[in-house]
Structure 1
């Protein structure tokens, strides 16, 4: 097979067909055995391309040649070799457009970038990239058992504001990847989470975008260290038994001049402006863009051993008129609908490729509409994701929990409606960063009542999430009851743990998380009705929910009662599915958690009588604004 500047004819063909799913191996800048770096860039319809940088003193640059294919056709791919270029040097591409405009662009395939506010790419050779992995046991285990059969309790993290050195909003001193590997890994493990989800780590110019407006899709941000340091962080998570999910943004990119926008002087990577965010949408109809994006997802899975990818803003990709209210501006596809069929096909292909190449990893859709079959296979008309965020549960639940207690009976359906569709998709229940910013208030600040009731309400909210079917996700700070909204420019308020109420709340979250891990009935059958049974969904007068969670074994089940009012009941009868004795195995109202200690300390024997459709019942103490869980006992 003929080679063209280290690219084979087959690779060039596949790239132009949208089928080169590992094109990062040849495009961009690659070290050549200590002799220099080879460069390859896709830039159609331009006069010339030069690579400039520290290796030539940022002068005129090294000219790149456009690859000619057999028959005289041009590939639109520019290549060159720069002898003497070494690991760590800064560089850009100097592109002269057909109109004579000169553009200075960062490398779309760069593996590393200059720290902001600089905008250049940085050459990445072994000194920058190479890491010896020690997560063989994790990968082996990942391949041996499906993620659907494991507990999923996700801690969502923004690396720049989990902790910081000092407090300086003007120039924050971040924890490095290696410092986070020590502190964050041990914290997540100790707290009992099973996954971390990292808000975008791909290089981005503006801290305030939180990473969601990307310029360097293949480069972990230089804010926290080298790419090999980021690999070390992921490796440490895996060795601690923690999976890693990355937020990924294939729906749009920022309009910064050094990035992807107008890359050749006209629209190339983009199709149109995103009306919601002032960014640009990717052009999924262009095969080379599909190669770029799908290859990028594979890159993070293969080069960084990532376990899951959460695709941001899926709804904005799927609808032609997302964010457009003016009827005169609305557009329709050839079938007369508002669906973006090209974006739909891209997502289906993305998930098909990931499933074929890496069947042991998963993808998650942030999709907030009623788009059907998000987690169904493409061959069945689905998008092919493994999970979907349940935004309906999140919105309904937070709306309910913000209601003052006298008004909750009239909105009881907000608690129960999610079970009407709970198994239409494979859901993850999110209490994410989006819910604690922009004036929405922190979770605890939404809770009504005095200080005690607010903490009780937050404990109850988290218990409701934990006992509901589906995966779980909580944003950092929820576990310490932080009252202020999340601020991306400073660390969490860890000093709150010097105060008893916050320390007890963190102790509660830790205990709840470990209880979840050790209670298979709460997660073994998370995604179908075999794991869930209503016992009483309609007690709006007392604002109480009663249901059963079922494990794989017939005698492995839990009975869960959630009381959303500040009332206490001393002899409350609940129907149970089998005669015998039951013991309380968890109670959010325990004194050590900051509660009032309305607990059931002794095993409770069943009595004959029909309650909640069962032929026997037990009498329990119901805590105020609390959750209590029972399991059958042999003693």
Structure 2
């Protein structure tokens, strides 16, 4: 039996051997089969036949090391054997991980190498497998510049010598099948960097992880694929009523200060949102993250639902419960950046593998985070695969992509000289643009009916226009884009004292200049009720009555305006305090009539919005909107028509002053009786009750129309009418 050089033995003992499969396990020789095992702490080791249990050989210790070896004469290369190990006080029987072949198939290696594997999560990470009748876990991790990678965990006392992995040089992936491991086992990858540094890292593809401050990953089965639920594709379309309730799961509601788990949220949050008439839930990021204060926007485990609220199976239960209730589920998704935590993606294999190397490209000064290197095919593949993972394996309906503007521009939040121009000398991040196009194209092809939504605050053209056939030109391919311009102008106007609104009239009218340039979502999101901005009700000027009337008026205007709707939790009942992610919403406020009224109005707005196609069917098309009054700055009154494809329409009037406008005349499209379907000043909502019921048109030409109506417009109120 050939002896190993001391240098190789020492490398094994120090966990510095870069090719352990070349040394450990079974190896054919002219004299028979040599079996070597590195078993730190073992007293003696015997190889026995895997089926019969008959002894094959007693392995001899090499000096005072933990390396054992034996020669089994005339044994076949594929001999199935087990080790019987005496640990000095107890014995165990275990399989040799080094007797199993490669984990990755040749096709997977090829696709991973070129960065075109649609579902890399099916191969990389930790997967429960059965190989040659032995159950265990197949591990694989991309770390091309590491000198050595081991999988460590409770199962091997976190000893990196026990499960040193095989490098597939063709794709830079280290892999190993570890027998006997099972679901629930904790693990990490330990990497030896080129400079001799040793670092433990979380698995980028882990399906579950420990609750912070612990950093280990947890072996879980790959979730089964979920077909697109019936009716969900139609509910996501451009002509559908989409009203989104945005939620931070950790602070929506708590039980004696403790988080609700996913199943408790399925029993409480889902029926609450359904009963208020929302069509979708949007969840702030649920990917595993180490810092509560990031609200999930600094994820470490992109493939792992956070363990704060339960297991991956529990999260699937929440999504399924939402679908059963007729609600879609949208996840906030963060492919723009990741935190610098040592166990995360940063400097993953001793090099800036996932991030740009140059801090002018790879470091966010605002958030102190690292920026994904979209020029690397493997990184793009990691992110595109993650998008499909949530859509296919958890059945979510869509992804709201965070911080798209920061991805599109290399000079985002940077001073001159602090950024690197692209290959053409420009400011656009061409690699990020290509990534977004590819991601949206793959989602469109592989998960038709699912949607992607861009949080994008610039005038970048074609965010919601399709990419070209090859995916390298055209629009970015998102289905929807947050209308940040509308949000900023509207909140600035609504926050202005009503006496001065006439000087800011254009903040309302300007948005219609571009309202149909993209497929918009109108967001009153979490970002608008935090960091000193106050709550929605707190933004409204005036005394308490005017604040509540102003908020109801704002919501009436929002639900009537072209675009899909989004409201952050708590705003639906006029939460007074600014959002605090560390505590529950102030549900006790619903003991007060004004808060009940706002909540009742939101429910009715959602129901009217869903019931009348004119309010949603042509949201993103010019024929869906027509001004009646856009120039009455002195009285701060706006009136417009919303239309459906079949020509039916809703007339909307908004009065942004606390003054009743008696006998206000409006031109109407056709003669007839008009029925009031919503009045934000109704006493049912806490208003003054100024209204009109049904009004009949007069043959009086007004606003370019042959017929008109004279109506009483309530103070700080929005009215909606339909033709009887």
Do both share a fold (TM > 0.5)? yes
| Partner residue of 1:47 out of 147, 150, 163 | 147
Alignment of 1:112-127 (within 5 A): 112-125=208-221
CA distance in 2, matches of 1:511, 1:609: 33
Query: Could you say what secondary structure the match of 1:140 adopts?
Result: coil
The offset of 1:212, in angstroms, is 0.3
Query: Could you say what secondary structure the match of 1:488 adopts?
Result: coil
Distance 1:444 1:144, change over 3 A: closer
> Is 2:10 aligned against 1:10?
no
Q: Which residue of 1 aligns with 2:71?
A: none
Q: Which residue of 1 aligns with 2:121?
A: 24
The offset of 1:4, in angstroms, is 6.7
The offset of 1:61, in angstroms, is 4.9
| Partner residue of 2:421 out of 316, 319, 332 | 332
Figure out how many residues of one structure are paired with residues of the other and give that number.
613
CA distance in 2, matches of 1:177, 1:57: 32
Q: Which residue of 2 aligns with 1:170?
A: none
Deviation string for 1:32-69 (max 9, x for gaps)? 2481111111111111111110111223353333344x
Structure 1 stretch displaced more, 580-589 or 371-380:
371-380
| Partner residue of 2:701 out of 593, 610, 613 | 610
Q: Which residue of 2 aligns with 1:105?
A: 201
Query: Could you say what secondary structure the match of 2:171 adopts?
Result: strand
CA distance in 2, matches of 1:338, 1:330: 9
Q: Which residue of 1 aligns with 2:335?
A: 250
Q: Which residue of 1 aligns with 2:304?
A: 219
Structure 1 stretch displaced more, 140-149 or 500-509:
140-149
CA distance in 1, matches of 2:615, 2:251: 31
The offset of 1:144, in angstroms, is 5.6
Q: Which residue of 2 aligns with 1:504?
A: 597
CA distance in 2, matches of 1:26, 1:506: 47
The offset of 1:330, in angstroms, is 3.9
| Partner residue of 2:183 out of 87, 90, 98 | 87
**Quick check: which has more Rg, 1 or 2?**
2
Tell me if the contact between 1:586 and 1:629 (Cα under 8 Å) persists in the aligned partners: yes
CA distance in 2, matches of 1:146, 1:406: 40
| Partner residue of 1:407 out of 481, 500, 508 | 500
Q: Which runs of 5+ in 1 are unaligned?
A: 168-172
Distance 1:4 1:448, change over 3 A: farther
CA distance in 2, matches of 1:575, 1:412: 21
Alignment of 1:226-625 (within 5 A): 226-271=311-356, 272-325=362-415, 327-379=416-468, 381-554=474-647, 556-601=648-693, 603-625=694-716
Distance 1:570 1:140, change over 3 A: same
Tell me if the contact between 2:115 and 2:380 (Cα under 8 Å) persists in the aligned partners: yes
Tell me if the contact between 2:119 and 2:389 (Cα under 8 Å) persists in the aligned partners: yes
TM value normalised by structure 1:
0.94
The offset of 1:74, in angstroms, is 4.2
Distance 1:145 1:120, change over 3 A: closer
CA distance in 1, matches of 2:604, 2:235: 26
CA distance in 2, matches of 1:145, 1:159: 23
Q: Which residue of 1 aligns with 2:230?
A: 140
Query: Could you say what secondary structure the match of 2:708 adopts?
Result: strand
Query: Could you say what secondary structure the match of 2:706 adopts?
Result: strand
Tell me if the contact between 1:64 and 1:78 (Cα under 8 Å) persists in the aligned partners: no
Query: Could you say what secondary structure the match of 1:578 adopts?
Result: coil
Distance 1:557 1:226, change over 3 A: same
Query: Could you say what secondary structure the match of 2:614 adopts?
Result: helix
Distance 1:507 1:574, change over 3 A: same
The offset of 1:626, in angstroms, is 0.3
Distance 1:66 1:115, change over 3 A: same
Tell me if the contact between 2:145 and 2:350 (Cα under 8 Å) persists in the aligned partners: no
Tell me if the contact between 1:393 and 1:418 (Cα under 8 Å) persists in the aligned partners: yes
Tell me if the contact between 2:421 and 2:427 (Cα under 8 Å) persists in the aligned partners: yes
Structure 1 stretch displaced more, 331-340 or 365-374:
331-340
CA distance in 2, matches of 1:318, 1:74: 32
CA distance in 2, matches of 1:488, 1:264: 34
Tell me if the contact between 1:51 and 1:61 (Cα under 8 Å) persists in the aligned partners: no
Deviation string for 1:102-158 (max 9, x for gaps)? 0001111000000111111011138xx579x7xx7x723234676112101000000
Tell me if the contact between 1:66 and 1:74 (Cα under 8 Å) persists in the aligned partners: no
Structure with more relative contact order (C-alpha pairs < 8 Å, separation 6 or more): 1
CA distance in 2, matches of 1:572, 1:225: 56
Tell me if the contact between 2:627 and 2:641 (Cα under 8 Å) persists in the aligned partners: yes
| Partner residue of 2:284 out of 189, 199, 204 | 199
Query: Could you say what secondary structure the match of 1:299 adopts?
Result: helix
Deviation string for 1:402-423 (max 9, x for gaps)? 1101110000000111100001
Tell me if the contact between 2:281 and 2:330 (Cα under 8 Å) persists in the aligned partners: yes
Tell me if the contact between 2:236 and 2:451 (Cα under 8 Å) persists in the aligned partners: no
CA distance in 1, matches of 2:234, 2:430: 36
> Is 2:152 aligned against 1:56?
no
CA distance in 2, matches of 1:341, 1:81: 39
Q: Which residue of 1 aligns with 2:27?
A: none
CA distance in 2, matches of 1:28, 1:82: 13
The offset of 1:461, in angstroms, is 0.8
Return the structure number with greater helix share. Answer: 1
Distance 1:330 1:203, change over 3 A: closer
Tell me if the contact between 1:333 and 1:339 (Cα under 8 Å) persists in the aligned partners: yes
